[in-house]
Amino acid sequence: MSEYRPVDPRESPRFAGIKTFMRLPHIKTTKGVDIAIVGVPFDTGASYRVGARFGPEAIRSVSALLRHHNEVLDVSIFDHCSVVDYGDLPVNPGYIEDSYKMIEDGIQPILDGDVIPILLGGDHSVTLPELRAMAKKHGTVAIIHFDSHSDTGDKRFGRKFTHGTPFRRAVEEELIMVENSIQVGMRGSIYSRDSLNDARKLGFDLITTVEVQKQGIDTLIQRIHDRVGDVKAFVSFDIDFVDPAYAPGTGTPEVGGFTSSEALRIVRGLKGLNLIGFDLVEVLPQYDPSQITALLAANIVYEFMSLIALRKKLESAE
Amino acid sequence: MSEYRPVDPRESPRFAGIKTFMRLPHIKTTKGVDIAIVGVPFDTGASYRVGARFGPEAIRSVSALLRHHNEVLDVSIFDHCSVVDYGDLPVNPGYIEDSYKMIEDGIQPILDGDVIPILLGGDHSVTLPELRAMAKKHGTVAIIHFDSHSDTGDKRFGRKFTHGTPFRRAVEEELIMVENSIQVGMRGSIYSRDSLNDARKLGFDLITTVEVQKQGIDTLIQRIHDRVGDVKAFVSFDIDFVDPAYAPGTGTPEVGGFTSSEALRIVRGLKGLNLIGFDLVEVLPQYDPSQITALLAANIVYEFMSLIALRKKLESAE
Amino acid sequence: MSEYRPVDPRESPRFAGIKTFMRLPHIKTTKGVDIAIVGVPFDTGASYRVGARFGPEAIRSVSALLRHHNEVLDVSIFDHCSVVDYGDLPVNPGYIEDSYKMIEDGIQPILDGDVIPILLGGDHSVTLPELRAMAKKHGTVAIIHFDSHSDTGDKRFGRKFTHGTPFRRAVEEELIMVENSIQVGMRGSIYSRDSLNDARKLGFDLITTVEVQKQGIDTLIQRIHDRVGDVKAFVSFDIDFVDPAYAPGTGTPEVGGFTSSEALRIVRGLKGLNLIGFDLVEVLPQYDPSQITALLAANIVYEFMSLIALRKKLESAE
Amino acid sequence: MSEYRPVDPRESPRFAGIKTFMRLPHIKTTKGVDIAIVGVPFDTGASYRVGARFGPEAIRSVSALLRHHNEVLDVSIFDHCSVVDYGDLPVNPGYIEDSYKMIEDGIQPILDGDVIPILLGGDHSVTLPELRAMAKKHGTVAIIHFDSHSDTGDKRFGRKFTHGTPFRRAVEEELIMVENSIQVGMRGSIYSRDSLNDARKLGFDLITTVEVQKQGIDTLIQRIHDRVGDVKAFVSFDIDFVDPAYAPGTGTPEVGGFTSSEALRIVRGLKGLNLIGFDLVEVLPQYDPSQITALLAANIVYEFMSLIALRKKLESAE
Amino acid sequence: MSEYRPVDPRESPRFAGIKTFMRLPHIKTTKGVDIAIVGVPFDTGASYRVGARFGPEAIRSVSALLRHHNEVLDVSIFDHCSVVDYGDLPVNPGYIEDSYKMIEDGIQPILDGDVIPILLGGDHSVTLPELRAMAKKHGTVAIIHFDSHSDTGDKRFGRKFTHGTPFRRAVEEELIMVENSIQVGMRGSIYSRDSLNDARKLGFDLITTVEVQKQGIDTLIQRIHDRVGDVKAFVSFDIDFVDPAYAPGTGTPEVGGFTSSEALRIVRGLKGLNLIGFDLVEVLPQYDPSQITALLAANIVYEFMSLIALRKKLESAE
Amino acid sequence: MSEYRPVDPRESPRFAGIKTFMRLPHIKTTKGVDIAIVGVPFDTGASYRVGARFGPEAIRSVSALLRHHNEVLDVSIFDHCSVVDYGDLPVNPGYIEDSYKMIEDGIQPILDGDVIPILLGGDHSVTLPELRAMAKKHGTVAIIHFDSHSDTGDKRFGRKFTHGTPFRRAVEEELIMVENSIQVGMRGSIYSRDSLNDARKLGFDLITTVEVQKQGIDTLIQRIHDRVGDVKAFVSFDIDFVDPAYAPGTGTPEVGGFTSSEALRIVRGLKGLNLIGFDLVEVLPQYDPSQITALLAANIVYEFMSLIALRKKLESAE
């Protein structure tokens, strides 16, 4: 039995209580902790709609609907993992570089405590300081990136840091093992013929949504496993990977995307990989009147937790 | 030509008039009636979001869009069935057991008049008194239950009656032929490994959403027919069977669900069964800003009516 | 300097962090505490719209906008008071009498610790168990009741406990000093000519909205002070006291009400009274798309805190 | 005791049942009827936003909150009046002149039955056929017109019939006693300096919102009584008379308007006049997410009913 | 490089600037123009919900998200086409026949300038005057019609022109080559068994949604190409072709529809055809709180532009 | 007759056409122009809610409702002024100092052309670069600042530029004549007792909302005129000056504010002053579901234009 686990929904109604993720204890500690849920309420990097700063609150709110056992992966998360809601990292809204420093510094004690962070954005610009912190702890890591955009743009209006550039910067800063990294789900109109090839030139394996739809999800999962292998990997999931029908509450939606069933199946397909960190970004509650985007995000975070728990379960069974 | 039929949309604009279901006559009678649409505006059994008490009104409102002929099943409903909107059953909000009595008593004259009821919830707790009334009239009946949850929980906070427990209670009260009953569509996180097995131990055949997605809809339809056979069956459809993208307006949504096309195809697959009652529950209009949940619910009710009309059509053709 | 005070908005952005009231520490203690903010997420007593169970969460969320100093009353709350967010009391949704017991029991340790509770509903039915707890601690207390309804109805559908009956029950149960109690703001259509007179017959002084609008707010404030005098008083504020333009997110709104300016002025007018408890009820977030109702509620709670702090400030200055 | 009266909210919960106005009987008769609530779901005359065709449904829905006794006017409506919900008049959406004929013809049997109609729009273009029917029955009548626009425009895009022209047309068609008629509440930007003077040249007394705000409501009420005197009068109330804060759900809102308290006070000020018909127009539910506009409209209709009941009460007391 | 092209999103943030389609120049010219985006803000033909007059504005707003290169069709639109936003055609709201004349006349100079129009509705009634203009320029053309309704109704309430009748009228007026025309996607309840057959009797090839779902999209695309061949074709796309989950913001939604991926794939399947005009109709922003309907519409318009650009690219490559 | 004037709403329906302010010509020129409407879609300075970048679009959209003549001030704007919609200034989202430079540079040609700018924010941080540009052209100017906050904070999280600091910075940078400047409307909780006094120490005259409510609007208007006198003055209007009931769509709302009537009366009270520039900031459309905030903002801009036109009218009459 893990040290920290959520309030049991059978003991207290799910709408009650302070809204931490799954109503986990809100403790800023790493002691006795396997997984930390961490908010990164920063959206100054956004290029179109804004409001992802309220994303962590929205995801926490509906996460109250989640229960302890993952039936598909057959794992009871809290039998294997002690989990806390670590709260939100400090940020300075309006100032990207200040915030990058605060985010990187904020993650460090979590990693130093050998805790796996699951970070709730915030816009996608937050992944860069996350990766800086990961690299400091783990050295370069592989990236498994689910998104409708490759986010490998270069400067915009003369500036290097926006939510459209983190993965180019991560390569330039040598934070990631690009030869083991993969980008999945790109679609929609692009700036020029070179846009996706630029990502490939940086070294990423890149698969568009249309390609996944043609080849099937099993093929995709195999391709991810082949690419990543046994190296430490960080999963970055932009909610706009999913179609706007399933995730309307996001900043730069692209039609023609995945269903929630497909998204869950793909994430569950990561089982067995050596995953050392996760983020889930770009949830904008003001465009999510029925909370379905936040609910899907909470479920994907739940699958992330399940992947870790499953690995622990299997290890302890060996 | 049936005695009671809707206002013809070609004769009066669909947005006009008092909003009964399909603008059917609102008459509290069973004389000359084959099908009664009956509201059950009760939501005191809900564990998370509330507001299903406004479900019947919302479904009636958009049902004005429905027309008389079902092209897929090839049946003109009102050529074969006389249908009324019976109005809403009395309930006592805040008091489950009082309301259970009122609902059970309220249905009885409908059944005594040999009218097939299609009941619009309300939350899923209303199915228990419905089944009590059905059993009094018909003896035990088979249940065909579409839902993302099995609703076979036991007590919650020490109480037996909530929207999470009706099917366990129905088995305990010996209202249903559990060996002919089937639960379809369960998914999402569950309380413990035993949650779904508990439903199976009660005697239900239970198929999860993931299993249906693997095996296909034709297999599912065959499995339902095999299970139910010729016995009298009651259909209980929780709108959260469908994915939140298609049905955001519900109380405890679960991502990774069915599309509206799949749901319609499955319901149409019930044709030929001996269906003696229906309910459609858990529509919450306050979470349904574009009315798509209510519209889907109205269409499923429409398919229920079509199934009855089709059976009458085929019987009269013999 | 008080022991417990909020996160300083100048040190952490107001949208960040776990959403307790004003981002106060969430500690379930009474030690070193003057005021406890306490959620009572219960709405089973509601007669029309439901959803006040999400009221405490909504009020907490937007309370992040509040700052430490009350300029009009000239008091810095946390210079004089130590305040915690005590979390939510346990309730059993769907079961009023169970929940009444849980609420009464839940408040008791707060009162025993000599902490002033400010309770966030929930529907107005929660005031009865609150008053039961207050009476157990303090003996009978005066009630200052702001509302568009007098909530002194008798049974509804044969049942004694709903959100329309708590003040009749409180008189019957001899929980309150009715001769020092006052009801302010009644308006809108009523069941019969006797409805308001019934409240008066129970012993309340009752002033309608139309009367207040004629006589002016200064007169009202004087009348409240005259009525209540020096006895211990409990303030119950139903957000529907205010006009629906200012508070759309409520269950049984009545047009023709007060503005937010008027409401604040009236509440500030309570200064000097011996206030030993407060509640703020009937906030329904699903009808509050721009959060203005929750924001007004948070501000009224803020004025409640200020009234207590001001009294402490003046006492300590003597 | 009147023949037709609403379902008693103390006997059936207000959210239950088919949504007629106040849950009155829906009977298309004039026998034994004093007042008929009549929907006119027509919005083809609208110049900016559209959707008033759903106005009657929205007003009916929330009218369930109304109770039987008007405390301010001290009258129990249904002690003096028998009231039905007559349903909606037939209209042909997209065709103004067709619909004008249908509306005029539809009202005639109501007037022939000596029933006072209270008509729920629809956009303001519906007042012209209403006045045609009134004139046929009563001869010319005075108009008491509450609105932020005078609606005395001439042709628009070459056409005579829109929601901006009914009162000019009514003068031209000699349907009204313009020398006894009054327009109240005009405000906002206008097409040219002559716009309001044109209305005055047609013979109307016209008072702007700014003038009312300067002179006070008592003065306004006196001016209306002086103008109208004892002649038969028809009241036309455009919900945009009220400020958008109180009535956001309307087609051509004008800021700087009246509060709901002021509007109620003005309408109640009509007591004693010889009112033979009413309409309430321009409620657009799609712009009214919290239903406050529809609720205010329902309350104004309620005051209309009360004015009639009060006159009957006083007559019978003589 | 084309004469007229959008503001580059890499040079000016996409939320900035006057909202023309894709932030194209708003110039009412045909000189040096290949494609004109043209609004037709007319919704007087609508039978149920209204508000499509705001459709062009909503589509333009969110079209700012589109970028220059179509990755799937591999074409950079503005390398091959000069495109302008021509603004909106004049219409007379409330008057269908007047507006038909204005729309027909408004399109004529565009066609006379040999510019391909892409028209943004408006309700589907606007297609008739569009086809009148097309026929005047091109003679009869084939129609490729995507919709959940065949819109081949006859008179409604005695009138010939509504959004349910344009394609019958087009056949009667001999505007189209019906033997080369095809209607795709019909579904949902219909008025009578004959409803779809009537369309077929008029000469259309008609494929229901259920048939497409059975046969697959490749088969559909082949069938369209076989039917249309080399003749000039006009594409009319009603957004309700897509399921309400993907396009909630529409006037007469039908559940059980296509996904956005399927819709895009089908539209891209038109490549190679001789397309001389397009419309996209029935977007109602008031039912589209997250703008997903408008975004999908903008993307379909984008595919239309891409089809033209691709044809030009291939022609110039020959 | 002025050179540039809006499309006449009597000639083209108000919902039609590209949405510039009042459907004025969108021309980036100063030649023959008296007033330029200029968007400043920048919201990186916001401390709580974000989204004011979409403010200019929202205000332009609903400004279509405005007509040419101001009845209260008795001036036909376009008889005296030539007005253009200049479009939006370039900004770099996420980078305040870059954007400050772009805004300042962007305004300069407007001022150099002797055109009066009316700037549509954006958050309140944009006022600083506006004032820098004004000072470069005009030397120091008086400020008339309507707001619920004084926005004279010092650094936040170590940074000098946010939407809470522009007026302190303006004093420090010696851009304004503080001894002729006035701040009106401050209210709500504040950080410390010194917060408002700090503004006064900087030299501002500052009047709180509560003070205005006590003293009356006529007194306020006189006080503004006395303070400002004949010097050149810039008006900065934060929409949160108004109560959230009237302006829900804003970033940091404060309850207890002004009505729309009061706001209009105050703005009209500025007539006669020597006003050389204006801004209207902090409109956030995502919190404004019925567009009432944007409508009020558009009307205040309309009053600004009227003040200029009135001055020209009176000057030309001399």
CB of C283 closer than 8 Å to CB of C249: yes
Confidence of residue F156 (pLDDT cuts 50, 70, 90): confident
CB contact under 8 A, A15 and B190: no
**pLDDT per residue as tens digits for the range F34-57:** 999 999 999 999 999 999 999 999
Spell out the residues 6+ positions from residue D110 whose beta carbon is closer than 8 angstroms to its own. Answer: D30, D36, D38, D86, D117
CB nearest C67 (choices: F191, F209, F289)? F191
- The more confident residue out of B1 and A130 is A130
Phi, psi of F311 (to 5 degrees): -60, -40
Tokens representing F161 are: 């530029």
Q: How far apart are CA D14 and CA D133, in angstroms?
A: 34
**pLDDT per residue as tens digits for the range E20-31:** 999 999 999 999
Interface test with F, best of E7, E23, E43, E57 (most F CBs within 10 A): E57
Which range (A255-264, B156-165, C66-75) has the least confidence? B156-165
Question: Is B162's pLDDT higher than 90?
Answer: yes
CB nearest C47 (choices: D14, D66, D289)? D14
**pLDDT per residue as tens digits for the range C138-196:** 999 999 999 999 999 998 888 999 999 999 999 999 999 999 999 999 999 999 988 99
Burial of E201 (0-12, 13-18, 19+ CB in 10 A): exposed
CB contact under 8 A, C243 and D259: yes
Spell out the residues 6+ positions from residue A225 whose beta carbon is closer than 8 angstroms to its own. Answer: A272, A273
Query: How many helices and strands, by DSSP H and E, does chain B display?
Result: 10, 10
Contacts of D26 in chain B (CB under 8 A): 18, 26
Q: Which residues pair with E75 in a beta bridge?
A: E70
Average pLDDT of chain D is 96
Q: What is the pLDDT of residue F8?
A: 82
Q: What is the pLDDT of residue F1?
A: 53
Output Rg (C-alpha) for chain D, integer angstroms.
18
Concatenate the DSSP letters of all residues of E137-158 into one string. HHSSBEEEEE-SS------BTT
Mean pLDDT for F173-201 is: 96
Which amino acid is present at B4? Answer: Y
Distance from CA of E213 to the nearest CA of D (A): 34
Distance from CA of C248 to the nearest CA of D (A): 6
Mean pLDDT for F201-218 is: 98
CB contact under 8 A, D19 and B18: yes
**pLDDT per residue as tens digits for the range D1-44:** 578 999 887 778 999 999 999 999 999 999 999 999 999 999 99
CB contact under 8 A, A256 and E68: no
CB of E196 closer than 8 Å to CB of B71: yes
Distance from CA of E23 to the nearest CA of D (A): 24
- For residue F70, what is the nearest residue in chain D, using CA coordinates? D189
SS3 E261: helix
SS3 D209: helix
Burial of E306 (0-12, 13-18, 19+ CB in 10 A): buried
CB contact under 8 A, B244 and A259: no
SS3 E231: coil
Contacts of C299 in chain F (CB under 8 A): 188-189, 255-256
HEC assignment per residue over chain F: CCCCCCCCCCCCCCCCCCCCHHHCCECCCCCCCCEEEEEECCCCCCCCCCCHHHHHHHHHHHHHHCCCEECCCCEEHHHHCCEEEEEECCCCCCEHHHHHHHHHHHHHHHHHCCCEEEEEECCHHHHHHHHHHHHHHHCCEEEEEECCCCCCCCCECCECCCCCCHHHHHHHCCCECHHHCEEEEECCCECCCHHHHHHHHHCCEEEEHHHHHHHCHHHHHHHHHHHHCCCCEEEEEEHHHECCCCCCCCCCCCCCCECHHHHHHHHHCCCCCCEEEEEEECCCHHHCCCCHHHHHHHHHHHHHHHHHHHHHHHHHHC
Q: Distances in Å between the alpha carbon of A11 and those of B47, C56, D316?
A: 12, 19, 62
CB contact under 8 A, E47 and B14: yes
SS3 D98: helix
CB contact under 8 A, D13 and C196: no
CB contact under 8 A, A290 and B244: yes
Q: Which residues pair with F119 in a beta bridge?
A: F38, F279
Q: Distances in Å between the alpha carbon of B9 and those of E47, E48, E190, E240, E272?
A: 10, 10, 11, 19, 41
What would you measure as the largest C-alpha separation in chain E, in angstroms? 56
CB contact under 8 A, C98 and B161: no
Contacts of E126 in chain D (CB under 8 A): none
- For residue E161, what is the nearest residue in chain D, using CA coordinates? D94
Mean pLDDT for F190-210 is: 95
D235 membership: H or E segment, kind and range: strand D233-238
CB of F148 closer than 8 Å to CB of F241: yes
Question: Is F2's pLDDT higher than 80?
Answer: no
CB of F280 closer than 8 Å to CB of F301: yes
**pLDDT per residue as tens digits for the range E253-296:** 999 999 999 999 999 999 999 999 999 999 999 999 999 999 99
Say how many C-beta atoms besides its own lie within 10 A of residue D108's C-beta.
Answer: 14
Which amino acid is present at B279? Answer: D
CB contact under 8 A, D244 and F260: yes
Distance from CA of E49 to the nearest CA of D (A): 7
Average pLDDT of chain C is 96
Q: What is the pLDDT of residue D1?
A: 53
- For residue B287, what is the nearest residue in chain E, using CA coordinates? E289
Question: Is E12's pLDDT higher than 90?
Answer: no
Q: How far apart are CA A278 and CA A308, in angstroms?
A: 11
Tell whether A291 lies on the interface with E, counting CB pairs under 8 A. Answer: no
Q: What is the pLDDT of residue D65?
A: 97
Q: What is the pLDDT of residue C1?
A: 53
CB nearest D51 (choices: E92, E158, E286)? E286
Average pLDDT of chain B is 96
SS3 E88: strand
Please provide the distance, in angstroms rounded to a whole number, between the alpha carbons at the two ends of chain A. Answer: 18
**pLDDT per residue as tens digits for the range E40-65:** 999 999 999 999 999 999 999 999 99
Q: What is the pLDDT of residue D12?
A: 86
CB of C251 closer than 8 Å to CB of C50: yes
Distance from CA of A290 to the nearest CA of C (A): 10
Confidence of residue F238 (pLDDT cuts 50, 70, 90): very high
Mean pLDDT for C109-136 is: 98
Spell out the residues 6+ positions from residue E88 whose beta carbon is closer than 8 angstroms to its own. Answer: E38, E39, E40, E41, E56, F16, F17, F18
Mean pLDDT for D166-194 is: 97
Q: What is the pLDDT of residue D234?
A: 98
Distance from CA of D115 to the nearest CA of F (A): 37
Q: What is the pLDDT of residue E148?
A: 98
Tell whether omega for the bond before D203 is within 30 degrees of 0, i.e. cis: no
Mean pLDDT for B129-157 is: 96
CB contact under 8 A, D13 and C157: yes
Tell whether A213 lies on the interface with E, counting CB pairs under 8 A. Answer: yes
- For residue A192, what is the nearest residue in chain E, using CA coordinates? E69
Tokens representing F237 are: 């209007």
Spell out the residues 6+ positions from residue D254 whose beta carbon is closer than 8 angstroms to its own. Answer: D148, D149, D187, D188, D240, D244
- For residue A73, what is the nearest residue in chain B, using CA coordinates? B189
**pLDDT per residue as tens digits for the range C258-313:** 999 999 999 999 999 999 999 999 999 999 999 999 999 999 999 999 999 999 99
CB contact under 8 A, F69 and D208: no
Q: How far apart are CA A255 and CA A253, in angstroms?
A: 7
- The more confident residue out of F9 and F107 is F107
Which of B 103-142 lie inside 8 A of A, CB atoms?
Answer: none
- Dihedral sign for Cα atoms in the order F55, F57, F62, F67: positive
Average pLDDT of chain A is 96
Q: How far apart are CA F279 and CA C46, in angstroms?
A: 46
CB contact under 8 A, F187 and C71: yes
Which of F 214-253 lie inside 8 A of E, CB atoms?
Answer: none
SS3 C113: coil
Spell out the residues 6+ positions from residue B78 whose beta carbon is closer than 8 angstroms to its own. Answer: B1, B2, B5, B6, B68, B309
Distance from CA of E183 to the nearest CA of A (A): 22
- Report ipTM for this prediction: 0.97
Confidence of residue F157 (pLDDT cuts 50, 70, 90): confident
CB of F277 closer than 8 Å to CB of F133: no
**pLDDT per residue as tens digits for the range F73-88:** 999 999 999 999 999 9
DSSP 8-state symbol, B13: -
Q: What is the pLDDT of residue A1?
A: 53
CB contact under 8 A, E159 and D98: yes
Cα angle A293, E209, B35 (rounded to 5 degrees) comes to 85
Q: How far apart are CA D286 and CA D297, in angstroms?
A: 15
Q: Distances in Å between the alpha carbon of F27 and those of C55, D168, F39, F91?
A: 49, 38, 13, 19
Tell whether B27 lies on the interface with E, counting CB pairs under 8 A. Answer: no
Distance from CA of F8 to the nearest CA of E (A): 13
**pLDDT per residue as tens digits for the range D262-275:** 999 999 999 999 99
CB contact under 8 A, D54 and B92: no
Mean pLDDT for D79-86 is: 97
Which of A 183-212 lie inside 8 A of C, CB atoms?
Answer: none
Concatenate the DSSP letters of all residues of C38-99 into one string. EEE---TT-SS---GGGHHHHHHHHGGG--SEETTTTEEHHHH--EEEEEEPP--TTBHHHH
Q: What is the pLDDT of residue D317?
A: 82
- For residue B12, what is the nearest residue in chain D, using CA coordinates? D90
Q: What is the pLDDT of residue A11?
A: 77
Question: Is B20's pLDDT higher than 80?
Answer: yes
Contacts of A196 in chain E (CB under 8 A): 71
Q: How far apart are CA C251 and CA C282, in angstroms?
A: 6
How distant is the alpha carbon of residue B6 from its chain centre? 21
Q: What is the pLDDT of residue F216?
A: 98
- For residue B68, what is the nearest residue in chain E, using CA coordinates? E191
Output Rg (C-alpha) for chain C, integer angstroms.
18
* Nearest of A47, A52, A213, A238 to residue A144 by alpha carbon: A238
How distant is the alpha carbon of residue C214 from its chain centre? 25
CB nearest E18 (choices: F16, F26, F93)? F26
Which of B 32-61 lie inside 8 A of D, CB atoms?
Answer: 39, 41, 53-54, 57, 60-61
Q: Which chains touch D (3 or more CB pairs under 8 A)?
A: B, C, E, F
Determine what percent of chain A is predicted with pLDDT higher than 70: 100
- For residue B265, what is the nearest residue in chain E, using CA coordinates? E256
Q: What is the pLDDT of residue C20?
A: 98
Determine what percent of chain B is predicted with pLDDT higher than 70: 99
**pLDDT per residue as tens digits for the range A83-95:** 999 999 999 999 9
Mean pLDDT for E180-186 is: 98
Question: Is B1's pLDDT higher than 70?
Answer: no
CB contact under 8 A, C12 and A57: no
Question: Is A62's pLDDT higher than 90?
Answer: yes
Which of C 143-182 lie inside 8 A of D, CB atoms?
Answer: 156-157
> Which of 3.40.50.720, 3.40.800.10, 3.40.50.150, 2.40.30.10 would CATH assign to domain D21-140+234-317?
3.40.800.10
CB contact under 8 A, B264 and E256: yes
CB of E213 closer than 8 Å to CB of E243: no
pTM of the model: 0.98
CB of D85 closer than 8 Å to CB of B18: yes
Tell whether D269 lies on the interface with C, counting CB pairs under 8 A. Answer: no
The CATH homologous superfamily for domain F21-317 is Ureohydrolase domain (3.40.800.10)
Residue reference for tokens 């500025």: F270
Residue F183's region, left for phi above 0, alpha for psi from -120 to 50, else beta, is beta
Contacts of E13 in chain A (CB under 8 A): 47-48, 157
Mean pLDDT for F9-15 is: 85
Confidence of residue E157 (pLDDT cuts 50, 70, 90): confident
